[in-house]
Amino acid sequence: MTEKLLEVQNLRTHFFTRTGVVKAVEDVSFYLEEGETLGVVGESGSGKSVTSLSIMRLIDKPGKIVGGKILFKGEDIAEMDEDRLLQIRGGKIAMIFQDPMTSLNPVLTVGFQIAEAVKTHLKLDDKAAMNRAAEMLERVRIPEARRRLNHYPHEFSGGMRQRVMIAIALSCNPQLLIADEPTTALDVTIQAQVLELIKGLSKEFRTATLLITHDLGVVAGTCDRVVVMYAGRVVESAPTHTLFKKPAHPYTQALLQAIPRPDEPPGSRLHAISGQPPSLINLPAGCPFAPRCVKAQARCRQELPPLETKGAGQMAACFYPY
């Protein structure tokens, strides 16, 4: 078996708050092959963002990675020392965040912010780094790239800023790009452009992508495989087409049903999942989705279903799948 690019094994990230221990990520495992695009889907609070920040080791107090391994090409990020970590961050694994309006430093020029990353990881001199920055701005299709280098973030629109973020992320040829809800804060019309850009460039740069989103529509057109998270756990993972055609976990099924369809008659009710996600502080025994699950049996409320293979490449954590 070849070595996976990224292999997350039994990751557990907890937040030690005043009201109790928030188990934001609990026993999460998945992997990513080189050049592959993996979608991580879940509603807010499902732990998908915390997972991505854990991979970057950007979890701060009161949060802490309390268990598991994050193997990046065989090296465990969870145990890595600060120096090695700085080489990985930005150099090998780069990240794009949700809100482009606040993710760029307002007092530094865009060119500087790209060149800074380049200088750190590719050890280029100032001039070469600026050239690289200009090249990257062109690659993310910002017009008049060289002139725009000296502009400040507030002189760019939201979509443009997210392009700048992509430029920063890809400037050092990372092997893995983590995009945490990269289009959520953008206008619908811009969303598709930015997604296309990420898709195209990651192919061009041969970068594997971990796409975090709450939008199954985004996953459908972009990802090779999908991991579905619920209440800090992985409930299903499958190749994209399998997931859409034959979802195993009732939660995935409910999510798919919740997508409004144009072929339904106007005026018909939208499908919503009744109830609310559980508190991550006092998780009930058994399957976390059981209280909201239409198929739940007595066993589901007592025993936690393990993540098991249910079909070709498809795994689900459910006693009564399909």
Partner 1 sequence: MGLLSNLPVLLVLLAVIALVIYSGIRIGPRFLIKRLAGLVFVLFGVTFITFILGYVTPGSPVQNLCGAKCTPSQLKLLYHIYHLDLPWYEQYATFLNGLVHFDLGFSFTQRGRTVWSILGTGVPISAQIGLSALVFALLIGVPIGIFAAVRAGTKFDTASMTVALVLFSIPTFVSIPIYQIITVQLSQHGLPHLPISGWGDSPIEIVAPVAILTIVELGFYARLMRTTMLDVLNQDYVRTARAKGLSRRLVVFRHAFRNALVPLVTAIGPAIAFVVTGAFFTELFFNIPGIGFQSVASIGNKDMPVVQGTVIIVAVAVAVMNLVVDMVYGILDPRIKVS
Partner 2 sequence: MDTIEQPSIVGASSPEQIEVYDAKEQPSISPMRAAVRRFLRDRRAVVCLGIILFLVIFSFLFPLLYVHMGPKVLDGISGKLIPPELYHQFSYSNLAASDKPGTLFPLGPNSLTYPLGGDPIGRDMLARLMAGINVSIEVALFVEVFDIGLGVLFGTLAGWYGGWLGTVLDRFTDIVFAFPGLLLIILMGAALGPIFDNIFKSINPILGRIVMLTLAIGLLAWPLMMRFVRGQTLNLKEQQFVEASRVSGTPDGKAITQHIIPNLLNIVVVASTLSILGSIVGEAALSVLGVGIRPPGSSLGLMISDSLESIYGQWTELFWPAFVLVVLIVCFSFVGDGVRDAFDPRTKD
Q: Which is nearer to partner 2, 53 or 190 (CB)?
A: 53
Is 152 a residue that touches partner 1 (CB under 8 A)? yes
Count the site residues for partner 1 by CB under 8 A.
29
Is 120 a residue that touches partner 2 (CB under 8 A)? no
- Stretch of 40-48, 91-99, 129-137, 214-222 lying at the interface with partner 1 (CB under 8 A): 91-99
> Shortest distance, CB of residue 110 to partner 1, whole angstroms?
11
Which spans in 20-157 are helix H?
48-55, 82-88, 100-103, 110-122, 126-139, 145-148
What is the contact mask toward partner 2 in residues 246 to 285, using x (rule: CB under 8 A)? ------------------------------xxxxxxx---
Rule CB under 8 A: choose which of 105, 157, 276, 309 binds partner 1: 105
Nearest residue to 67 via CA among 20, 5, 17, 14: 14
Is 157 a residue that touches partner 1 (CB under 8 A)? no
Q: Are 316 and 306 in contact (CB under 8 A)?
A: no
Nearest residue to 93 via CA among 194, 25, 5, 193: 5
Indicate which of partner 1, partner 2, none lies near residue 218 (CB less than 5 to 8 Å, by partner kind).
none
Nearest residue to 221 via CA among 249, 191, 186, 251: 191
Residues in the chain: 322
- Stretch of 28-36, 66-74, 85-93, 313-321 lying at the interface with partner 1 (CB under 8 A): 85-93
Rule CB under 8 A: choose which of 17, 87, 102, 302 binds partner 2: 17
Longest dimension (CA), the chain: 67
Is 154 a residue that touches partner 1 (CB under 8 A)? yes
Rule CB under 8 A: choose which of 5, 95, 167, 234 binds partner 1: 95
Q: Residue 136: how many CB atoms within 10 A of its CB? A: 27
Nearest residue to 75 via CA among 123, 6, 16: 6
Q: Residue 240: how many CB atoms within 10 A of its CB? A: 19
Quote the DSSP letter at residue 221.
H
Per the listing, tokens 């809800």 go with 181
> Shortest distance, CB of residue 106 to partner 1, whole angstroms?
6
Handedness of CA 32, 37, 38, 43 (dihedral sign): positive
247/251 Cα distance (integer angstroms): 9
Is 104 a residue that touches partner 2 (CB under 8 A)? no
Quote the DSSP letter at residue 154.
G
> Shortest distance, CB of residue 62 to partner 1, whole angstroms?
9
- Stretch of 8-16, 36-44, 63-71, 87-95 lying at the interface with partner 1 (CB under 8 A): 87-95
Is 99 a residue that touches partner 1 (CB under 8 A)? yes
Is 296 a residue that touches partner 2 (CB under 8 A)? no
What part of residues 115-144 is at the interface with partner 1 (CB under 8 A)? 116-117, 120-121
What is the spatial order of strands in the sheet that 20-32 belongs to? 20-32, 6-17, 63-72, 75-76
Nearest residue to 177 via CA among 167, 187, 185, 186: 167
Rule CB under 8 A: choose which of 5, 11, 50, 88 binds partner 1: 88
Which residues lie near partner 2 (CB under 8 A)? 15, 17-19, 22, 24, 44-45, 49-50, 53, 57-66, 78-82, 276-282
